[in-house]
Amino acid sequence: MRLEHEYGGRSNASPTGLIAMTERYVKLVICSPRRCTGCTHSLDERCTLLDSISLAADQATPVLVEKDRNLLHIPIRNTVGPLRPPWMSMDWEQVWMDDDFKKDCKLSEIIDLYAVGPYVSVFAQVGENKEISHTVLPRLRSRLEFALLEEMTERARELTERVSVSFNVLTERIGYIQTKLGEEMDKSWPEISLSIRDIISQIAGFSSTMLFPITPLLLDDEIEEIYVDGPDSWAYFDHARLGRCRTDWFFSGEAIEPMVTLARLESNHHLDRRNPSLKSRIGFLGVDLRISMAVEPLCPDGFQMQIRRARKEIMTLSHLIRNDTISVEGAALLILALYLRQNMVITGAPGTGKTTLLNAMDQITPPFWRKIYIEDAIESRIHRNQHQSRIQVDPIDERNGLSDKSQEIVKSLHRSPDYVILGEIQTQEHSHALFHALSAGLRCLSTCHSNSAASLISRFQVNHHIDKASLALLDLIVTMRRPVPGSSRRYVSEIVEVRRDTEDGCLKFRGLNLLYSNDSHTGILDNMVDDGAFSLRMNEGGVAEFDSLFADLIARLKGLRETSSGNTNDDLQKQAISLLRASTVT
């Protein structure tokens, strides 16, 4: 028994902007044909090599490889502590390596693998540029089970009609095929275990749809976005931990028309030469997808597609603190701004995590607030015991749209919201509607593309023609950054407040004030100014002793950071409400 590779360090960005060596989340152990017999690492039915890996500080997962038997042995995820070899323990899952996998994937290049539904996703860092490639293995244990999968895949094709239907019908069709295949295997191969029958019927059912090549990605909660740049090209995707990865899915030109038809049917929007782009929310296999497509003449190559996958497990503010998206101090500032109902814009380049932060903040608003959401592609989430009214408008791509975001923002004046949560502010009309609502007294949280608070103000002024007096209605601008394209690292780079006062009875925009910077060690309290939106909102809300309030909230956040309890959001709600009530002058 020997180690195939040593454990590498955490991913770092090189000065050139390329991705350096990525952290290995697994350590491969190559076992001899005789297994433990005669192995120097075998001791009293234990493996000293497995013990050392399991107890190492890097927490990499051991994976045993039996090359002569074509087997991978993967620990069951809930296993804790040192492991005994799989032939002496029930703590392992056995996976058969078929010939294609052995030909295409070098064991020494594997950096991670884990189970996703009926599959095992395998990631390898390959080539001189250290690109990360992705492939999958069915969770099957033998050549016989692989042969049965091939037979059931053929049977699935016989059971399904080759027509383009909506995603919901496809999901129902897959379920129908899986049930039929399971019944057939139960009668013909009763010796096959129920778990293996389920895996075979699932994969065979998936194979009956054109989405079969990316089904493992759609099922994986760590996949963020999937990209197809054009016909006859390889798809690629962004992974939450590993960053940009390439797939083994070649998107042929023949797949364009069925994919376009699916999107039209599900979204009920046009996608043709008059409306050559589409953005819509689609449900498939219990997963929420936001699909963007473009066709000719907008797309000269004929087709382009982007699929953003919503996580089933919503990222909380505590998650974002633990993964270094934001510091405890920055999170405390945003919580207080949220509870003061400040007018906030979360800005950043595409793919920097703006919506993720917005949804994390949305979860911890007081449960008695009435919140109205206005979005074209629904990316907000329904939260337990909260008052949420969601409005979906037509995307700007839809020329014949009946509902317009700008109009719905203005209509919100008559819907009595405590807080309005907007999707992306995209156009000049959206901006004018936003500031019209702010001037009428609505409190809003929104997102908008820009690289910094300063560039966002310039965009509002120059591109959207918003006057300075209206800009003074904003309170806080939060900037998200993704420093290296294709990397998984995202973080809050700055939190900036708007400075304002009144002159001759009119509101005046006095510029911006930096409260928080990821690169600065200056204290947030030291950066506050009297004419800043934060101080002004605190005075309006009757909040006294802000220093002690801020310190108390930081202390409580640090306590929550060390836990992963399911009621973290409830704890944050209760503690923030309690602290604000205690510090409010009545």
Instruction: Dump pLDDT digits (tens) for 104-143.
Output: 778 888 999 999 999 999 999 988 888 999 999 999 999 9
CA atoms within 13 A on the CB side of 431: 20
pLDDT of residue 220: 95
- Are the CB atoms for 134 and 248 separated by under 8 Å? yes
Average pLDDT for 488-507: 92
Average pLDDT for 508-517: 95
Element (H, E) at 306: strand 303-309
Residue 565 has pLDDT above 60, yes or no: no
pLDDT of residue 585: 47
pLDDT of residue 16: 35
Tell me the two tokens of residue 114. Answer: 């884990």
Q: How far apart are the first and last CA of the chain?
A: 72
- The candidate with the shortest Cα–Cα distance to 115, out of 205, 200, 216, is 216
Residue 586 has pLDDT above 50, yes or no: no
State the pTM of this model: 0.79
Element (H, E) at 360: helix 354-362
pLDDT, greater one: 2 or 303 = 303
pLDDT of residue 147: 94
Average pLDDT for 284-296: 89
Residue 150 has pLDDT above 70, yes or no: yes
Residue 499 has pLDDT above 90, yes or no: yes
Q: Can you tell me which residue has the tokens 């099922």?
A: 219
CA atoms within 13 A on the CB side of 272: 7
Q: Can you tell me which residue has the tokens 């919201």?
A: 417
Q: How many CB atoms lie within 10 A of CB 573?
A: 20
pLDDT of residue 19: 40
pLDDT of residue 567: 57
CATH pick for 317-583 out of 3.40.1080.10, 3.40.50.300, 3.30.700.30, 3.40.630.30: 3.40.50.300
pLDDT of residue 78: 62
- Are the CB atoms for 483 and 510 separated by under 8 Å? no
Highest mean pLDDT among 197-201, 484-488, 515-519: 197-201
Write the CA distances from 29 to 45, 99, 110, 118, 123, integer angstroms: 17, 20, 12, 24, 17
Tell me the two tokens of residue 178. Answer: 């899986």
Bridge partners of residue 292, in order along the sequence:
279, 306
Q: Distance (Å, rounded) from C-alpha 352 to C-alpha 176?
A: 39
pLDDT bucket at 57, cuts 50 / 70 / 90: low
Residue 304 has pLDDT above 70, yes or no: yes
- The candidate with the shortest Cα–Cα distance to 470, out of 439, 501, 433, is 439
Q: Can you tell me which residue has the tokens 């990397």?
A: 487
Tell me if residue 545 falls in helix, strand or coil: coil
Q: Distance (Å, rounded) from C-alpha 421 to C-alpha 418?
A: 10
Q: Could you check whether 145-309 and 317-583 share the same CATH topology?
A: no
pLDDT bucket at 165, cuts 50 / 70 / 90: low
- Are the CB atoms for 36 and 139 separated by under 8 Å? no
pLDDT bucket at 20, cuts 50 / 70 / 90: very low
CATH pick for 145-309 out of 3.30.450.90, 3.40.50.300, 2.70.210.12, 3.90.1150.10: 3.30.450.90
- The candidate with the shortest Cα–Cα distance to 420, out of 355, 377, 372, is 372
Query: pLDDT, tens digit, for every residue of 388-427?
Result: 888 877 776 555 555 677 788 878 878 889 999 888 898 8
72 residue type, one letter:
L
Average pLDDT for 426-451: 91
Tell me if residue 478 falls in helix, strand or coil: strand
Across the chain, what does the average pLDDT equal?
Answer: 85
- The candidate with the shortest Cα–Cα distance to 118, out of 89, 153, 84, is 153
- The candidate with the shortest Cα–Cα distance to 155, out of 194, 192, 184, 117, is 184
pLDDT of residue 84: 85
DSSP letter assigned to residue 483:
S
71 residue type, one letter:
L
pLDDT bucket at 522, cuts 50 / 70 / 90: confident
Sign of the dihedral defined by the CA atoms of residues 270, 272, 275, 277, in that order: positive
Bridge partners of residue 304, in order along the sequence:
294
- The candidate with the shortest Cα–Cα distance to 184, out of 61, 255, 176, is 176
pLDDT of residue 580: 60
Q: Can you tell me which residue has the tokens 């046009």?
A: 270
- The candidate with the shortest Cα–Cα distance to 279, out of 249, 308, 252, is 308
Tell me if residue 307 falls in helix, strand or coil: strand
Alpha helices of 120-166 — where are they, by DSSP H?
143-159
Residue ranges per structural domain of the chain: 2-139, 145-309, 317-583
